[in-house]
């Protein structure tokens, strides 16, 4: 199955980013294609590259970058990003800033859209 | 349609609102802080018990474990992320944020 | 879900369940609706719980120096987003009636909105 | 002590919780989405009316205006940010987040 | 507020009113408490509403790959943060008792916590 | 009076940053000293310098920077900032990254501490 993910909260502050990641890992293990992960609202904060999370904790930013390297589209809404001080200069690797229309496009193409947020 | 609830029922209104709109037989998955809704002994037990007569109820086990909830209501089926994905295979998803 | 001229057309329901202004979710949710309207899908919006407050007349954020967006609801019609459902119970608990709202809506019982919700291909909460 | 409430009473539990801990004569200020608590005609009117017998109740006028609330309960005094600061001059602050 | 050897000592109450894990507020709130403990102020923590869930025994976030912090509550004693007040009503509504909690606390009626709260110089909700 | 401000939510996403700013303006007008504004939790996101908010809307980041130029200490908690990808490289002008202990220090020194958050 083709599954799209919508993530609406920032990393660490809310569990949504963790839940989305765990869901994606399990879905891929069951043979599904995670076509895209779309960051909206504070979710765009997942795509910033200046973080230094505690050594003994997970690195949420790195997870998204790694997923991107494995072929999952990591998409960041440009309008939400501009409000929240995220731009190309400070973007994690393998993520793309794109228009909000992409989300509708994903919802149309994918068999499922699963939202994680507050 | 699969309904997911991730807010504590003590703080948010997702649970009471979801119940008003859900159709019979639609599964509900409690996750994140939503887990507290299915803890045995709290004031939401009756609501969950009634709901279980018409709707299958699930709760995400890693979220239960994280919160140290020892007694989950018997009417609730505990599943892991693999089970969550299986539910999504069979249903469209309605996340009550 | 149906096909028309080889294009997929899905039923999208956006659920507005939060108060405006205190958080950005309603505003950014509305932006989502407007942009998705260009995709010729079958779009509806359900206003339930505090979401009904989004539609109140005479909201004026000028003194807060915050950009208002409530008038944008009036523009939905021009984008062919015409299915605006409002939950009757949510209105009543708040002592509100249809006359208090800035746009024409269809006030429905929760059970009716529930049935419409169940038929959707995509449901997104703002 | 000044208590501020900024959550909608329909969604959060700040109002009911604050009432449980507040002392008589302590002022309460409703602001941001907390404003909906003092709107005439909704299901919280009785709670606010009772509260007004023991505690002075304020609501932030720019937040009322932003939300288009026409009828604020008569027991509630509307103040602007200048009035908010005046309350802070006279009391320590307890923000119920 | 009082003075000791020319230093100001204030009464600080940290209010924990949220569930752990779903959001970071409890965790970062706890960091705030620990750091403020170095300042020799008169510190207390009030656990009310969902905040009482923070103190449950046997919380294990390993399967979520999230760093746990509940054991840090046990360390509070070592930082001389000893005034931990728990609201009885919050416990009861959740079907919990003192035995379910990971640290020794003082279970009080809401009115008693309210009186303590009223005496504080600084109240910070997590 | 000496007043300290604690801001716990990010800009635009929550009204807290606006409320804090309006309160500060009114307090200064009444002759009070806003000694420091401390950003904690997602509040640290107020201190990033890559934003481009819509032209017809207020610029929350610029407001803090301007307040800093007028002598108000704009303080960003380092631990919270590291988790949220805020560092010196992308900091607004007139803000300072500092330890969480500063907040307690403010609370001790100031006559009032006013918190804005979710």
**Host domain of residue A20:** 2-116
Distance CA E40, CA E43 (A): 8
Give me the CATH number covering residue F16: 3.40.1260.10
Query: Which 3-state string (H, E, C) describes chain B?
Result: CEEEECCCCCCCCHHHHHHHHCCCCCCEEECHHHHHHHECCCCCHHHHHHHCCCCCEEEEHHHHHHCCCCCECCCEEEECHHHHHHHHHHCCEEEEC
Look at chain E and report how many structural domains it folds into: 1
What residue has token string 């072929």?
Answer: A71
Q: Do B53 and A75 form a contact (C-beta atoms < 8 A)?
A: no
Burial class (CB in 10 A: 0-12, 13-18, 19+), A69: exposed
| Structural domains in chain F (count) | 1
Phi and psi for D8 in degrees, rounded to 5? -60, 130
CB E66 within 8 A of CB A18: yes
pLDDT at C70: 87
Q: In what order do the strands lie in the sheet with D76-79?
A: D76-79, D57-60, D28-30, D2-5, D93-96
DSSP annotation of A89 reads G
Tell me which residues of chain E have a C-beta less than 8 Å from any C-beta of chain B.
Answer: 18-23, 49-50, 53, 56-64, 66, 68, 70, 93-96
CB of A23 within 8 Å of any CB in chain E? Answer: no
Judge contact between B63 and B87, C-beta under 8 A.
no
For the cut 90, the answer to whether the pLDDT of residue E70 exceeds it is no
In F65-107, which ranges are E strands? 73-77, 95-98
Judging contacts by C-beta atoms under 8 Å, the chain A residues touching residue B97 are 8, 115, 117-118
Distance of alpha carbon E51 from alpha carbon E53, whole angstroms = 5
Q: What is the mean pLDDT of chain E?
A: 96
Nearest chain A Cα distance for residue F32, angstroms: 30
* Residue pair B28/E16 in contact by the 8 Å Cβ criterion: no
Q: Which whole-number Å values give the CA distances from C121 to A20, A107, A114, B92, C28, in the listed order?
A: 20, 9, 12, 7, 21
> What percentage of residues in chain F have a pLDDT greater than 70?
100
**Do the beta carbons of residue F113 and residue E125 sit within 8 Å?**
no
- Chain C residues in contact with F18 (beta carbon < 8 A): 64-66
Structural domain boundaries in chain B: 2-96
| CA–CA separation, C115 and E31 (whole Å) | 47
Encode pLDDT of D48-80 as tens digits.
Answer: 999 999 999 999 999 999 999 999 999 999 999
Q: Which of F18, F27, F40, F110 to mutate to test the interface with D (most CBs of D within 10 A)?
A: F27
Mean pLDDT of chain D: 97
Residue of chain B minimizing CA distance to C48: B17
Is pLDDT at E23 greater than 90 in this prediction?
yes
Q: Which residue of C has its CA nearest to F19?
A: C64
* Single pTM value for the model: 0.98
Mean pLDDT of chain F: 98
Are C114 and B13 inside 8 Å of each other by CB?
A: no
Kindly list the distances between the CA atom of residue A113 and the CA atoms of B6, C7, C82, F89, in Å, as whole numbers in the listed order. 17, 19, 23, 36
Q: Which helix (H) or strand (E) holds F23?
A: helix F16-29
**Which positions of A are annotated as active-site residues?**
77
State the CB neighbour count (10 A cutoff) for residue D78: 16
Note down the domain range covering E28.
2-125
C97 has a pLDDT exceeding 90? yes
pLDDT in the model for residue F20: 98
Residues from chain A that touch F84, judged by Cβ atoms under 8 A, are: 10-13, 45, 48, 51
Residue E51 to residue E16: CA distance in whole angstroms = 5
Q: What is the pLDDT of residue E122?
A: 98
Which CATH number is E86's domain given? 3.40.1260.10
- Identify which of F41, F51, F89 has the shortest CB distance to residue A85: F51
Q: Name A31's Cβ contacts closer than 8 Å, sequence gap at least 6.
A: none
CB distance A45 to F84 below 8 Å: yes
Q: How confident is the model at residue C62 (pLDDT cuts 50, 70, 90)?
A: very high
Q: Is residue E5 left, alpha or beta, with left meaning phi > 0 and alpha meaning psi from -120 to 50?
A: left
Residue A93 has pLDDT above 90, yes or no: yes
Strands E122-125 and F2-7: unpaired
Tens of pLDDT, residues C1-23: 899 888 999 999 999 999 999 99
**CA–CA distance, E54 with E76 (Å, rounded to integer):** 14
Quick check: D14 and D96 in contact, CB under 8 A? yes
Bridge-partner residues for B30, per DSSP?
B5, B59
- Given the candidates 3.40.1260.10, 3.30.43.10, 3.90.550.10, 3.40.50.300, the CATH classification of the domain at B2-96 is 3.40.1260.10
pLDDT single digits (tens) F33-70: 999 999 999 999 999 999 999 999 999 999 999 999 99
DSSP reduced 3-state for A68: helix
pLDDT < 70: residue spans in chain B:
none
Per the CB < 8 A criterion, the answer to whether F33 and F71 are in contact is no
Query: Minimal Cα–Cα distance from D11 to chain B, Å?
Result: 5
Q: How many CB atoms lie within 10 A of CB F93?
A: 13
Q: Do D10 and B12 touch (CB under 8 A)?
A: no
């Amino acid at each position: 199955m083709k599954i799209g993910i919508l993530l609406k909260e920032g990393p660490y502050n809310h569990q949504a980013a963790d839940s989305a990641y765990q869901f994606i890992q399990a879905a891929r293990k069951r043979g599904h294609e995670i076509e895209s992960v779309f960051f909206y609202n504070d979710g765009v904060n997942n795509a910033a590259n200046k973080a230094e999370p505690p050594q003994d904790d997970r690195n949420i930013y790195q997870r998204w970058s790694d997923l991107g390297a494995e072929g999952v589209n990591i998409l960041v809404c440009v309008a939400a990003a501009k409000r929240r001080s995220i731009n190309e200069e400070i973007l994690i690797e393998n993520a793309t800033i794109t228009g909000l229309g992409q989300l509708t496009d994903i919802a149309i193409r994918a068999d499922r859209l699963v939202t994680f947020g507050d | 349609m699969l309904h997911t609830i991730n807010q504590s029922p003590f703080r948010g209104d997702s649970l009471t609102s979801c119940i008003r709109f859900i159709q019979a037989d639609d599964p509900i998955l409690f996750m994140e802080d939503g887990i507290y809704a299915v803890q045995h002994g709290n004031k939401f037990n009756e609501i969950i018990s009634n709901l279980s007569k018409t709707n299958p109820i699930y709760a995400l086990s890693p979220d239960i474990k994280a919160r140290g909830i020892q007694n989950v209501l018997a009417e609730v089926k505990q599943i892991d992320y693999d089970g969550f994905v299986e539910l999504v295979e069979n249903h469209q998803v309605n996340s009550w944020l | 879900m149906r096909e028309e001229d080889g294009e997929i057309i899905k039923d999208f329901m956006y659920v507005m369940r939060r108060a405006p202004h205190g958080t950005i979710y309603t505003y950014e949710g509305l932006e989502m609706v407007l942009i998705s309207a260009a995709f010729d899908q079958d779009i509806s919006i359900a206003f339930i719980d505090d979401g009904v407050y989004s539609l109140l007349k005479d909201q004026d954020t000028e003194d807060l120096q915050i950009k208002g967006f409530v008038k944008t609801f009036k523009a939905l019609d021009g984008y062919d987003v015409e299915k605006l459902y409002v939950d009757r119970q949510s209105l009543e608990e708040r002592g509100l009636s249809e006359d208090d709202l800035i746009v024409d809506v269809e006030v429905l019982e929760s059970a009716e909105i529930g049935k419409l919700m169940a038929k959707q291909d995509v449901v997104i909460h703002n």
